[in-house]
Amino acid sequence: QVHLVESGGGLVQAGGSLRLSCAPAGRPFGIYTMAWFRQAPGKEREFVAAISWSGGITDYADSVKGRFTISRDNAKDTVYLQMNSLKPEDTAVYYCAARRGVHAYTPAAYDYWGQGTQVTVSS
């Protein structure tokens, strides 16, 4: 089964930082668009950030713009989400996703997913 594996989640106080990592299992994803989504209890899965295969184009949800940074290291075939100035409303399960082609903003557009990693921001 081709899938992605996230790591780096945990419990952090408001205002703190976490860095999530995503690495593939089963095949490389160096030419894929990569993205992060999140899902809080009782809410729909929502787009957080995406990055092109080259790393030159990034997109962010308005709710995280200026606080989160998506990046990728193609030599390591790893994607990162640096999360700064975390807020309690950032609490969610964060998912890494991959797709062929250009950036997309809905979960249905992505073909490969990780299992999710819990991020909890306390006040």
User: What is the structure's pLDDT at 2?
Assistant: 63
User: What is the structure's pLDDT at 28?
Assistant: 76
* Residues in the chain, pLDDT under 70: 1-2
User: What is the structure's pLDDT at 66?
Assistant: 98
Residues 109 and 91: their CA atoms lie apart, in Å, by 24
User: What is the structure's pLDDT at 36?
Assistant: 98
SS3 per residue for 4-18 = EEEECCEEEECCCCE
User: What is the structure's pLDDT at 14?
Assistant: 98
Three-state DSSP state, 109:
helix
Residue for token digits 């860095």?
A: 19
Q: What is the DSSP code string of 24-67?
A: EESS--TTSEEEEEEE-TTS--EEEEEE-TTS--EEE-TTTTTT
Token pair of 60 as six digits: 């962010």
- Is residue 59 within 8 A of residue 44, CB to CB? The reply is no
For CA atoms 83, 89, 95, 101, the dihedral sign is negative
- What number of residues does the chain have? 123
**Bridging pattern class, strands 92-99 and 68-73:** unpaired
